[in-house]
Structure 1
């Protein structure tokens, strides 16, 4: 049986150390961190390259999935509108009955 990636003892120890560092109080975390590297200037070409790489990771829904989701949304809208129409009608009946009783 093959091992899962990241299940080696060294990988587990590394994750545990990162988690401990993240959960450490602010004073300990600041002392443990190295000084921050100077911030690099903005590179538009690098930014566009990264945006393009992220856009490639998008998984678009199929036409069938879009159709099924749209039908389900329509059904839920009809059900919700029916529910709220019924509640509004009952509250209206109650208000009219209360006003009729108050008039006399």
Structure 2
């Protein structure tokens, strides 16, 4: 980002920009070494090891969650049906006023 100029100060003809200061050093980040590639067999063994760490829900937890989702879908559908019906009624009422 460029430095804001202050009013009333003008650069002098022989002055050097501040970015080119004497004795300035440039720091370069070291290059990271490449990671060794894994073989397909090693990859699949790592996948199986991670798969064993998964905690699967019980049949009861799955049933309760499914019922809760079903209830929320029913509530949302009733809500949107009421809103749609109300907006349809209001639209028909407004259109009827104009004719």
TM surpasses 0.5: yes
The answer to whether 1:78 aligns with 2:78 is: no
The structure whose Rg is larger is 2
Residue 96 of structure 1: aligned partner: 92
Q: TM-score, normalised by structure 2?
A: 0.67
Structure showing greater relative contact order (alpha-carbon pairs closer than 8 Å, 6 or more residues apart): 1
Are 2:57 and 1:61 aligned? yes
Q: For 2:77 and 2:34, how far apart are their aligned partners in 1? A: 56
Moved over 3 A (4+): none
Please report how far the alpha carbon of residue 36 of structure 1 lies from its aligned counterpart in structure 2 after TM superposition: 1.7
The Cα offsets for residues 34-85 of structure 1, whole Å up to 9 and x where unpaired, read as 5422332341111011101100011110010011001100110000000000
Secondary structure at the aligned position of 1:59 is classed as coil
Unaligned residue ranges in structure 1 (runs of 5+): 1-26
| Farther off after superposition, 35-44 or 56-65 | 35-44
Partner of 2:36: 40
Distance 2:46 2:37 in 1: 15
1:20-44 deviation line (CA, Å, top 9, x unaligned): xxxxxxx98x74xx54223323411
Backbone CA RMSD of aligned residues: 2.0
- Tell me how many residue pairs correspond in the alignment: 74
